[in-house]
Structure 1
Amino acid sequence: MGDNQNLLAEQRRALILDEVRRRGGVRVNELTRKLHVSDMTVRRDLDALARQGVIEKVHGGAVPVVEASTHEPGFEAKSSIETSAKEQIALAAAALAQPGSAIALSGGTTTFALARQLTDIPGLTVVTNSVRVADVFHAAQAGTSPLAQPGGTGATVVLTGGVRTPSDSLVGPVADQAIRSLHFDVLFIGVHGISVQAGLSTPNLAEAETNRCFVQAARRVVVVADHTKWGTVGLSSFASLDEVDALVTDSGLSAGARAEIAEQLPELVVAGEQNGSYPDGARGAGS
Structure 2
Amino acid sequence: MFLGKRETDIVSVINRDGTGSVRDLAERFGVTEVTIRRDLKKLEQLSLLKRTHGGAVSIGSGFDWAAFLPTTNGDSEETVADALILPPVPDRVAHTLRERALRKRIPLIAESCPQENGLYLGHDNYEVGHALGEWTGRYFKQHGGTSAHLLDITLQSLPNTRERSRGFIDGLSANVSSVKVFTVDGNGLYDHSYGVARDALHLHPEINIIFGINDDSVLAGIQAHADLDNDPADLIAVVTGGEGKTLLDVLAQDSPLKACAALFPEIVGRLAIDAIVHLWEGGAVPDAIITPYRIMTHDTLKSYYTRKGRDWELIPERFAELVDPMWQRPVHEIKNRTISFAILYRTHEWYQNIVKAVHNRAAEYGIEVRVNDWKDDFSDEIRELRRLIGKLAASYVDDGDTIILDAGVTTEYMAPFLRDCPNIAVVTNSVNLLQRLQSYPNVDLIVTGGKFDGTTRSLLGRGAQLLLRDIRADKAFIVADGLSAEFGVSSATEMKAEVQRAMITAAREVIVLADHTILDVEADFHMTGLDAVDTLITDMGITASQRLDLSHRGIRVLIAGEVSNLQ
- Out of 104, 119, 125, the position equivalent to 2:419 is 119
Partners of 1:183 and 1:214 lie apart in 2 by 9
2:327 is the alignment partner of 1:27: no
Pairing partner for 2:450 from 150, 157, 162: 162
Which residue of 497, 515, 521 maps to 1:208?
Answer: 497
Q: Is the 8 A contact 1:13 1:49 kept in 2?
A: no
Q: Secondary structure at the match of 2:438?
A: helix
Query: Is contact 1:241-1:265 (8 Å) kept?
Result: no
Q: 2:421 matched to 1:97?
A: no
Name the residue aligned to 2:508.
219
User: Which residue of structure 2 lines up, in the alignment, with residue 257 of structure 1?
Assistant: 546
* One-letter amino acid of the structure 2 residue matched with residue 158 of structure 1: I
Letter in 1 for 2:549: E
SS at the partner of 1:249?
strand
Structure 2 gaps of 5+ residues are 1-79, 85-94, 103-113, 117-155, 164-286, 292-340, 346-371
Residue 231 (1) aligns with residue 528 (2)? no
Q: 1:232 to 1:114 in 2, by over 3 A?
A: same
Q: Residue deviations 1:184-241, cap 9 Å, x none?
A: 1000111111111111111211111110000011100001111111122111111111
Deviation at 1:37, TM superposition (A): 6.5
Q: Deviations over 1:114-150 (max 9, x none)?
A: 12211220100000010111111114x3xxxxxxxxx
Aligned equivalents of 2:522, 2:290: Cα separation in 1: 32
- Quote how far apart the aligned CAs of 1:107 are: 0.3
AA partner of residue 160 (structure 1): T
For 1:266 and 1:212, the matched residues in 2 are separated by: 18
Q: Structure 2 vs 1, CA of residues 8 and 163 (structure 1 numbering), >3 Å: closer, same or farther? A: closer
1:99 and 1:209 map into 2 onto residues whose CA distance is 29
Judge conservation of contact 2:405–2:426 (CA < 8 Å) in 1.
yes
The whole-number CA distance in structure 2 between the counterparts of 1:13 and 1:254 is 16
Deviations 1:50-70 (A, max 9, x none): 62799xxxxxxxxxxxxxxxx
Please say if residues 401 and 425 of structure 2, whose CA atoms lie closer than 8 Å, have aligned partners that are also in contact.
yes
Work out the CA distance in 1 between the residues paired with 2:408 and 2:395: 19
Residues 123, 251 of structure 1: CA spacing in aligned structure 2 closer, same or farther, 3 A cutoff?
same
Instruction: Give the whole-Å Cα distance in 2 for the aligned partners of 1:274 and 1:114.
Output: 21
Q: Is the 8 A contact 2:394 2:414 kept in 1?
A: yes
* Offset from partner CA, 1:26-57 (integer Å, 9 cap, x none): 4232899xxx77899xx958678962799xxx
| TM value normalised by structure 1 | 0.68
Q: Pick from 434, 456, 459: which aligns with 1:134?
A: 434
Structure 1 unmatched runs, 5+:
18-24, 55-77, 142-151, 277-287
Larger radius of gyration: 2
Q: Decide whether the 8 Å contact of 1:269 with 1:275 is kept in 2.
A: no
Mapping of residues 1-287 of structure 1, within 5 Å = 5=83, 9-11=97-99, 26-29=157-160, 44=342, 51=375, 82-139=382-439, 141=440, 152-153=441-442, 155-165=443-453, 166-273=455-562
Deviation at 1:167, TM superposition (A): 1.2
Distance 2:548 2:157 in 1: 22
Residue identity over aligned pairs, in percent, reads 27
- Would you say the 8 A contact 1:191–1:200 is kept in 2? yes
Distance 1:275 1:125, change over 3 A: farther
Equivalent position SS for 1:82: helix
Local SS of the residue matching 1:234: coil
| TM-score normalised by structure 2 residue count | 0.36
Task: Tell me the number of residue pairs that the alignment of Structure 1 and Structure 2 aligns.
Answer: 227
Q: Name 1:22's counterpart in structure 2.
A: none
Identify the residue that residue 75 of structure 1 maps to in structure 2. Answer: none
Query: How many angstroms apart in 1 are the aligned matches of 2:547 and 2:525?
Result: 24
Aligned to 1:285: none
Distance 2:377 2:462 in 1: 33
Note closer, same or farther for the CA distance 1:108–1:12 as it changes in structure 2 (3 Å cut). Answer: closer
Give distance in 2, aligned partners of 1:96 and 1:108. Answer: 18
Q: 1:225–1:8: structure 2 CA closer, same or farther, 3 Å change rule?
A: closer
Q: Is the 8 A contact 1:105 1:111 kept in 2?
A: yes
Q: Do the aligned residues in 1 keep the contact of 2:342 with 2:374 (CA within 8 Å)?
A: no
- CA distance 1:275–1:187, change in 2 (3 Å): farther
Give, in whole Å, the separation in 2 of the partners of 1:246 and 1:266.
Answer: 5
Cα distance between partner residues in 1 of 2:393 and 2:162: 34
Structure 1 residue matching 2:477: 3-state secondary structure: strand
For the residues of structure 2 that align with 1:135 and 1:268, how far apart are their CA atoms?
Answer: 30
Secondary structure in structure 1 of the residue aligned to 2:98: helix
- Is the 8 Å Cα contact of residues 100 and 381 (structure 2) preserved in structure 1? no
Could you tell me how far apart the structure 2 residues matched to 1:172 and 1:8 are? 35
- 2-side partners of 1:210 and 1:45: how far apart? 41
Letter in 2 for 1:84: E
Are residues 185 and 253 of structure 1, via their aligned partners in 2, closer, same or farther at CA, if it must alter by over 3 Å? same
Residue pair 2:343, 2:373 contacting (<8 A) in 1 also: yes
Q: What CA distance in whole angstroms lies between the structure 1 residues aligned with 2:502 and 2:472?
A: 10
